[in-house]
Structures are given as C-alpha cells and as structure tokens.
Amino acid sequence: MQALRARAMMREMFLLASLALLSRVPSIGSSSDYEYVWNARDDGQRRCTAIPEDLRLCHGIGYAQMLLPNLLDHESMAEVKQQASSWVPLVHRRCHAGTQVFLCSLFAPVCLEKAVGPCRLLCESVRDACSPIMEAFGFVWPEMLNCSRFPLEEKDLCISKNNTGISDESEPTPACPPCDIDMNPDVILQNMCASEFAIKAKIKKTTIENADKKVILQKRKKEVRNGALNNTELKKLVLYLKNGAHCPCQQLDNIMNHYLIMGRKVGKRYLLTGIHQWDEKNREFRRVLNEIKTHKCSALDSVFK
C-alpha cells in the first residue's frame, strides 16, 4: 500500500509540474488544451540544462530547462540547435496549434525526473495538418517523427491533444504555401532556405497537370541565387506547384509583373517553393535582395528524410 501511495504521489507531482510549466506557453494555447498521461521511463542518463536563447524553436516556450540527451537522442546542444532550427519555419506557418508543443516535447523535453514526450494522437494531428505544407516544398514527414513510435494508450505519461480544447481547424493550413503574398523578409528568406535556386522572371502561362499546377516561364530569366541549375537547365526551366491545381495564387494569374521565383528539384521535376513580386521600390524587398546571397540556412535535407 505504501508503495502504491508513493507512486500515486509521484505521479501527481509530475502532472502538476508539467501543467504548471507548459500552461505558460504563450503561442499554443492554455494547459486545458492538452492532457497528460503516465510514462514510466528511466531517464537516469539524462541531465537538466538551460534552454539557450539561440534555440529559437523552444526558447521562451514556458519553461527554462530541458533534458539532454533529448527524446530524439541528440547528445549535444549544438546538435539540438542544428536540427531544431529547420523546424522554426513550420511553426511560423501555423499549420496546427500544437506544432510547437509537439516539437519541443522532443527537441527540448521539460526537465522532470521522467521525460514527457508526445502521444501518438498529437503526433498524427500535427502530421496531418502540417505535412501538406512540407509536401508543397518537396519534403516528406521524416522517419524520426514516425507517429507509431509514440505511445497511444493512456498508461504512459505523454502530451495528448484534448478533444475539448482548441480544434485542429483553429489555424488552417494555407491553401498555397509558396504563394504567400505578404512582403515579409523573414518568410521570403525561409522560402529561399527551402529552395535550391532563386531567379527573376515573368510568368508565360500555367496549366493543370493532374493535381499540380504547371508553371511555364518567359524566356528571359536572371539568376539571383543559384546552386542547382546550369545554363541549359535554366533555359528550359518549368516549375510545378505541388498539389496546386486549384489553389489561389495571385502571382500566377498576372503575366505582366516580374517575380522573385524560387524552386528546388525533387525527382525529375522542379517544384515552385516561393514566388514574390519583384519590387525594388519596397524597402523590405531590397533588404531581401541584399541578404539572399549571404543568408545562412539550416541543412533541411539532413532533417526532412
């Protein structure tokens, strides 16, 4: 009886600590949006360490310390930063209200005696909402986040989406991610980091090909940032907007303007990953042009596999 009572008390302490820490997360809802179930995992090998300011994915999430190694078996903080930085743009896309909680429970698990990771249903919910955005940029949901690896039964302590909390539809997936029209330098640079090249060009015409939109460019093209195209490939370049057959994209309807067009090769096709109006009178756009050649990006291909 004493052992059972002690176990119950320890469980209650973990629950209270988790709720107290994670309920202060500012951008992903209140603690009532998530429920916590028991996970009896031995974490004797892990240690607590401060979440550094340059761990942008999780710094300021609502708790100050994390467990290392984390739940993705990253041994060093340098490795955590390198891998986590690639996911910041996805959180900014707001494809799911729980994206940051899900990712930070893995990259920077809260510093408790037992690590608290995500439940399978939370993983599946985030995956289903956010994978269409990843696919639009030519990436697939990575094997390291295979939802089958996370607990489903409520016998383990994990973070689970509460059906009585915010709905998955509260932050809808953008219909056409590469076609964001706001002149936001950070968004443009994020698109560039998901790309292999950037050019200045006009649209000649678009056609529908299965579920994709085929984008044919006018002959005159100017390289802005090139890492994947030779002269012949640039001359013959045709782009595809993944799953964009019927999505709204104002830029593709206007053949008079020049655009900053970004893309990457996936298989035998070149995907359109970003298209923004070329406007050198705009101060924010000029900032992008100044930074685009020297901006340092995370190694996306090493993460999204």
Domain boundary among 170, 192, 210: 170
**Residues 121, 11 share a domain:** yes
Contact 35, 119 (CB under 8 A): no
CA angle 94, 99, 105 (to 5 degrees): 155
Q: Do both 209 and 278 map to the same domain?
A: yes
On whether both 79 and 153 belong to a single domain, the answer is yes
- The answer on 276 and 227 residing in a single domain is yes
Cβ atoms of 299 and 82 closer than 8 Å: yes
Query: Do 41 and 85 share a domain, yes or no?
Result: yes
What pTM was computed for the model? 0.72
- Do residue 150 and residue 188 come from a single domain? no
Residues 74 and 109 both lie in one domain: yes
Same domain, 266 and 242: yes
197 and 161 in a common domain: no
Residues 96 and 193 in one domain: no
Domain range holding 223?
177-303
Burial of 127 (0-12, 13-18, 19+ CB in 10 A): middle
How far apart, in whole angstroms, are the C-alpha atoms of residue 53 and residue 114? 24
**pLDDT per position in the chain (305 positions), as tens?**
434 343 433 333 333 333 333 333 333 333 345 544 434 345 567 899 999 999 999 998 889 999 999 999 999 999 999 999 889 888 888 889 999 999 999 999 999 888 889 999 999 999 999 998 898 888 899 999 999 999 886 667 888 876 334 454 545 555 688 887 677 788 788 888 888 899 999 999 999 999 999 999 999 999 988 777 888 999 999 999 998 888 888 888 888 899 999 999 999 999 999 999 999 999 988 888 888 877 877 655 444 44
**Structural domains of the chain, count:** 2
Q: Dihedral sign for Cα 26, 30, 31, 35, please.
A: negative
Domain C-terminal end among 148, 170, 192: 170
Domain check: are 203 and 254 in the same one? Answer: yes
Show which of 127, 154, 170 is a domain's final residue: 170
Q: Which residues in the chain belong to E strands, given as ranges? A: 34-36, 47-50, 65-68, 117-118, 158-161, 197-209, 212-217, 222-226, 238-241, 258-266, 269-277
Quick one: 125 and 255 in the same domain? no
How far out from the chain centre does Cα 35 lie? 23
Please identify which residue in the block is written with the tokens 């991610």: 177
- The CATH number for 197's domain is 2.40.50.120
